[in-house]
Amino acid sequence: MAILDWTWLCLVWTLLVLAAGVVLYFWGTSTYGRFTKQNIPHLKPLPFIGNMAQYMGKKSLLELLLESYNQFKGRQFGIIFMFRMPVVYVRDLELIKTITVKDFEYFTDHRTDYIESRESIWSKPLIILKGQRWRDMRSTLSPAFTSSKMKTMFVLVNECSEQLLDFLEQSYQQPIETSYKIKKDGDLLVLELKEFYTRYTNDVIATTAFGLKVDSLKHPTNEFYMMGQDATSFGAIKWLIFLSIPKVMKFLGLSLVPGKITQFFKTLVLDTVATREREGIIRPDLLHLLIQAKKGTLHEEDSAEDQKGAKIKLDDEDIIAQSLQFFLAGFDTSSTLMSFVSYLLAIHPDVQTRLQEEIDKTLKKHDGKFTYEMVHSMKYLDMVVSETLRLYPPGAAVERVCVKNYTLKSDPPLELRPGDNIMIPVYGLQHDPNYFPDPERFDPERFSDDNKHNINPMTYIPFGLGPRSCIGNRFALMETKSLLAHLLSRFSVKVVSKTPIPIKVIQKGFNVTAEGGFWLGLEKRTT
């Protein structure tokens, strides 16, 4: 009898396991049938993981997205599966224009569920807001990012540029013992430039967004910098988990950005705002502009967006949220852009020489002073930065979420529902030989006055497209150009033995970067 009972128990457990397996299988594939059972171009998915098997192995997300772009060659769009989530991967330029501009009202939102948390502050950054709330907040904040406001903040950015260059000058003359990846080798100062650029962008954000005077080179473990490192250096595994099961992570009370970082900035902003209001302190920084927006006194006559759309009153959490977003968005992306520019100049010395000649000539014209007008008057500098952004855009793709039923006028037509995810392949478009001949070649002349009109605006989108393009792109370009103008006026960037040629581009967290870092040499200019 005991043997029969045991046999029966084993049979029951086996049947339960099989039933659970069947249920899990159908759950793991339940989102696929809508696209795989129709005549819709798609990549064949695996249960649960969709098309992410290679990403879970050796390939980066960037490589996966680029391969998908090439696999849908000749198609207007295709479906890829990021785990259980179907994504409409759009290649056709007219469809991209329709989604991001013409019929934007159907695709107003970003997919942000992997960023959200139980912290109420994380429901308020501009990038996360949806619908009318986003429109109102964008209209409220836009005056803070106009060219006249950037000109005001340039003074603070310029101070940070000079601070970094003074440190490099001192290190070149007499290297000191530091924890940095830097050493003197003959006439070259050999260093991993990304670390120094990140410390520069950290100091820029500290002063322009939070009103703090920070020197991350003299004080390498300052709390502001360490918080930035913790917030942006999450690994591929953590990113993978939040990307695949965002609702589970939110239910468990876990956040992509650690809670201690949110609390740090919450305390910092509230204390700073209270001090300024109590003592009547005014600084030409983002925090002051947000305080003005809170009071309803922020105006900008040269902002078209300031003249239309509803305005909303900001509360303290709104100010904290926008400051935190500004910090996270700018900490790593701009430093990565500077690193790629430096790398490209090192391996293209002819381009670097021409750029230095422009910088020298422009400085002489402005009596040796770095001003907002001086930096933005240099056309070749703009060409170099623009071509770098084409080769190495900050993000590999732009996402949109469908918010109303919509029929994509494509072949075949595609019925979209609220919640459907759209992806626009920025990296693929900007490396497509049909749009940019010899796309892997670094050629700033693509963006000269004679040539740039030949570029279809739908194929060059490093800062996104349409009303939801990056609101801080002017600021990012300003701090990048300021630093490069300072650096190249005093140093030349050189290839060293540790410089990877060719460089391997990878997706790390939110951003594109280089595997192994940016090892380069700086040589003091004699002129």
Tens-digit pLDDT profile for residues 389-432: 999 998 888 999 999 999 998 888 899 999 999 999 999 999 99
Residue 238's pLDDT is 66
Alpha-carbon span 160 to 245, nearest angstrom: 40
> What's this model's pTM, rounded to 2 decimal places?
0.90
- Three-class DSSP category at 180: coil
Residue 487's pLDDT is 97
Backbone phi and psi for residue 155, each to the nearest 5 degrees, phi listed first? -55, -45
Residue 177's pLDDT is 58
- Three-class DSSP category at 160: helix
Average pLDDT over residues 6-27: 78
Q: Give the model's confidence band at 221: pLDDT under 50 very low, under 70 low, under 90 confident, else very high.
A: confident
Say what percent of the chain tops pLDDT 90.
44
pLDDT of residue 454 exceeding 60, the answer is yes
Q: Looking at residue 189, what DSSP letter applies?
A: E
Average pLDDT over residues 173-185: 72
Residue 118's pLDDT is 66
Backbone phi and psi for residue 84, each to the nearest 5 degrees, phi listed first? -85, -5
pLDDT of residue 332 exceeding 80, the answer is yes
Alpha-carbon span 141 to 151, nearest angstrom: 17
Q: Look at the block and give the residue holding tokens 């696209």.
A: 35
Alpha-carbon span 210 to 205, nearest angstrom: 7
pLDDT of residue 139 exceeding 70, the answer is yes
- Annotated binding-site members: 470
Please answer whether residues 200 and 161 qualify as being in contact, where contact means their C-beta atoms are separated by less than 8 angstroms: yes
Residue 302's pLDDT is 41
Residue 352's pLDDT is 98
Backbone phi and psi for residue 179, each to the nearest 5 degrees, phi listed first? -85, 0
Alpha-carbon span 78 to 43, nearest angstrom: 8
pLDDT of residue 312 exceeding 80, the answer is no
Residue 299's pLDDT is 62
* Per-chain mean pLDDT for the chain: 86
- Annotated binding-site members for heme: 470
Parallel, antiparallel or unpaired: strands 85-90 and 77-82: antiparallel
pLDDT of residue 309 exceeding 50, the answer is no
Please answer whether residues 234 and 114 qualify as being in contact, where contact means their C-beta atoms are separated by less than 8 angstroms: no
Return the percent helix, strand and coil in the chain, to nearest 5: 55, 10, 35
CA distances in angstroms from 40 to 76, 125, 183, listed in the order given: 11, 36, 56
> Which domains, and CATH codes, for the chain?
35-524 (1.10.630.10)
3-state secondary structure 381-450: HHHHHHHHHHHCCCCCCEEEECCCCEEECCCCCEEECCCCEEEECHHHHHCCCCCCCCCCCCCHHHHCCC
- Three-class DSSP category at 314: coil
Residue 300's pLDDT is 52
Average pLDDT over residues 105-113: 87
Say what percent of the chain tops pLDDT 70.
89
Return the structure tokens found at 204. 């820029």
